[in-house]
């Protein structure tokens, strides 16, 4: 039985193996979402670098900059329908009703996280289950939708720890243009060549996994997070300008669409005196 708000996370909440196969229900929902976003809302996503995607699943996808609820859709737009992609996502933000929780549970693709929950071990177990089933495990290491448009914010170390402990291939994905949404909004994403924790750390790591929970592991995770920031930051800045419309461009339904799946409030953008989602 589903029980939103009880703190059950990840695999415990899901109650089944995270599947790599795209079910008929998932494909139908995916097609409907594309019709709404690209047909009714006339949104556009310029995606490049898809030739860098591995032939199958079993890899980590690290995406930034995370600026709104649309970001997972940009990830799914850049990837094929199969193998499935699974996200760590906020339970409180997603499960605003029991009906919505049941829908997400049936659809799949989300492993919920609750503040003060089970800790990194549960997330690592979820990642290993996703990777072991040949699916894709996606993370947005900024951990929040607040931050400057067109630039990444500081990365948290959880994604790096998962990369170190699983040893999986890392596929970086730069995304831009999701900080505010309106009819006809232009967005962009770019897949970067696959890499690994060993490759990114270079001489800073001999490839031998440090003891889990040790100071050495945490230091390596911080270094790996820094390297991922260095890798993704310039690409986000490069693709962002093509998503910016002139000031006089109509922004119909901006407030409604920007906050559609977020709790209304103010986001921390460049100018604290401006209303970016008015």
Higher pLDDT, 161 or 114: 161
* Spans of all domains in the chain: 10-258
Question: pLDDT value at position 124?
Answer: 95
Q: Predicted confidence band at 266 (pLDDT cuts at 50, 70, 90)? A: low
Mean pLDDT of 196-215: 93
Share of the chain above pLDDT 70, in %: 90
Among 53-62, 87-96, 113-122, 144-153, which is the least confidently predicted range? 113-122
Contacting residues for 154 by C-beta, under 8 A, at least 6 apart: 142, 229
Q: What is the pTM of this model?
A: 0.90
Tell which residue, 9, 4, 1, has the closest CA to residue 117.
9
pLDDT over 60 at 123, yes or no: yes
Question: pLDDT value at position 276?
Answer: 34
Distance CA 266, CA 146 (A): 9
Q: Predicted confidence band at 148 (pLDDT cuts at 50, 70, 90)? A: confident
Question: pLDDT value at position 268?
Answer: 52
pLDDT over 90 at 129, yes or no: yes
Q: Predicted confidence band at 8 (pLDDT cuts at 50, 70, 90)? A: confident
Higher pLDDT, 9 or 34: 34
> Please, are residues 19 and 108 in contact by the beta-carbon 8 Å criterion?
yes
Please provide the CATH number assigned to the domain covering 10-258: 3.40.1130
Question: pLDDT value at position 3?
Answer: 47
Question: pLDDT value at position 261?
Answer: 79
Q: H or E element: which one contains 113?
A: strand 110-113
Q: Predicted confidence band at 275 (pLDDT cuts at 50, 70, 90)? A: very low
Question: pLDDT value at position 248?
Answer: 94
Mean pLDDT of 184-188: 97
* HSE, side-chain direction, 13 A CA sphere, residue 210: 18
């Amino acid at each position: 039985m589903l029980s939103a708000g009880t703190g059950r996370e990840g695999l415990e909440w899901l109650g089944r193996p995270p599947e790599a196969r795209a079910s008929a229900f998932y494909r139908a929902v995916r097609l409907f979402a594309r019709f709404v976003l690209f047909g009714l809302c006339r949104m556009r996503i310029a995606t490049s670098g898809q030739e860098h995607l591995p032939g199958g699943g079993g890899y980590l996808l690290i995406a930034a900059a995370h600026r709104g609820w649309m970001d997972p859709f940009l990830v799914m737009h850049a990837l094929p329908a199969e193998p499935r992609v699974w996200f760590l996502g906020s339970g409180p933000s997603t499960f605003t009703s029991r009906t919505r929780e049941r829908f997400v549970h049936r659809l799949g693709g989300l492993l919920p996280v609750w503040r003060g929950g089970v800790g990194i071990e549960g997330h690592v177990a979820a990642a290993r289950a996703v990777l072991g089933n040949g699916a894709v495990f996606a993370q947005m290491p900024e951990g929040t939708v607040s931050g400057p448009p067109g630039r990444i914010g500081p990365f948290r170390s959880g994604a790096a720890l998962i990369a170190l402990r699983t040893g999986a291939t890392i596929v970086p994905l730069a995304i831009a243009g999701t900080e505010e949404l309106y009819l006809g909004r232009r967005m962009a994403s770019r897949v970067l060549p696959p890499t690994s924790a060993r490759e990114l750390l270079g001489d800073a790591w001999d490839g031998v996994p440090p003891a889990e929970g040790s100071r050495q592991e945490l230091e390596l995770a911080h270094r790996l997070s820094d390297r991922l920031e260095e890798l993704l930051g310039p690409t986000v800045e490069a693709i962002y300008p093509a998503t910016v419309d002139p000031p006089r461009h109509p922004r119909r339904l901006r407030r409604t669409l920007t906050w559609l799946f977020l709790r209304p409030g103010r986001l921390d953008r460049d100018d604290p005196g401006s209303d970016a989602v008015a």
